[in-house]
């Protein structure tokens, strides 16, 4: 049986758990990271030298990096969430890469400042700068979705890019991180409502952020 290491409040673990709900395969999950430890133990570092989460083991094959895990699961289980056509697949890949290279770094201090930092210790200048940077990222995606016609990132068909970016959108739209001046983005809001209807989103992503 597939095994997943990672705590459920990790945005990157949420991607994998949502994907597993989409493709409907059984798995075992082991809490790892932060208060659960495990990630610095020798057996874990032997699997994943970065000491990060998630990590999966599938029939003896070990893989880490959440976006790579989603690609692997989709290909192994022949999921339509990872399109076969080169152009459609490349488009899904670019949004997943965008999450890693652009969106994630931009919004990190917004999430950490508002969710994982006590109110009396927040540096609101840093938080507001992150909200501005993240808002610029989301504005670009809003424009793209409006042009593609939605309801998903690349049009009518959902892909693994919607899972990856949708996990981060939960942060943007969450009451836990709302600060003054965040832009209203109608196409993005409609897309978020569409991904929010997925059972895997409701189970793993829509829950309170911690």
- DSSP-assigned letter for residue 149: T
Q: What is 10-72 written as a DSSP string?
A: -HHHHHHHHHHHHHT--EEEE--SGGG--TTSHHHHHH-TT--S-EEEETTEEEESHHHHHHH
Provide the residue ranges of all domains of the chain, joining segments of one domain with +.
Answer: 2-76, 86-205
> pLDDT tens digits, residue range 67-107?
999 999 999 999 999 999 999 999 999 999 999 999 999 99
Confidence of residue 198 (pLDDT cuts 50, 70, 90): very high
**Rounded Cα gap, residues 59 and 74, in angstroms:** 16
What CATH topology corresponds to 86-205?
Glutathione S-transferase Yfyf (Class Pi); Chain A, domain 2 (1.20.1050)
- Contact of 12 with 34, CB cutoff 8 Å: no
Residue range 100-154, pLDDT digits in tens: 999 999 999 999 999 999 999 999 999 999 999 999 999 999 999 999 999 999 9
Query: Looking at residue 10, what is its pLDDT?
Result: 98
pTM of the model: 0.97
Homologous superfamily of 2-76: Glutaredoxin (3.40.30.10)
**Identical fold at 2-76 and 86-205?**
no
pLDDT of amino acid 184? 94
**Residue carrying the six token digits 């939605």:** 150
């Amino acid at each position: 049986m597939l095994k997943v290491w990672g705590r459920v409040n990790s945005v990157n673990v949420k991607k994998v758990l949502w994907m597993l709900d989409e493709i409907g395969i059984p798995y075992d999950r082991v809490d790892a990271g932060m208060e659960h430890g495990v990630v610095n133990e020798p057996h874990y570092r032997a699997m994943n030298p970065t000491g990060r989460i998630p990590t999966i083991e599938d029939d003896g094959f070990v893989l880490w990096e959440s976006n790579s895990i989603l690609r692997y699961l989709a290909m192994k289980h022949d999921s339509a969430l990872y399109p076969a056509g080169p152009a459609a697949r490349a488009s899904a890949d670019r949004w997943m890469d965008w999450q890693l290279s652009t969106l994630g770094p931009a919004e990190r201090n917004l999430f950490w400042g508002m969710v994982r930092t006590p109110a009396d210790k927040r540096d609101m200048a840093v938080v507001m700068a992150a909200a501005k940077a993240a808002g610029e990222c989301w504005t670009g995606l809003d424009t793209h979705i409006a042009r593609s016609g939605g309801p998903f990132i690349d049009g009518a068909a959902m892909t693994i890019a919607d899972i990856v970016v949708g996990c981060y959108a939960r942060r943007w739209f969450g009451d836990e991180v709302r600060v003054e001046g965040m832009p209203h983005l109608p196409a993005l809001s409609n897309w978020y409502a569409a991904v929010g209807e997925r059972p895997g989103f409701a189970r793993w992503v829509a829950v309170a952020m911690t």
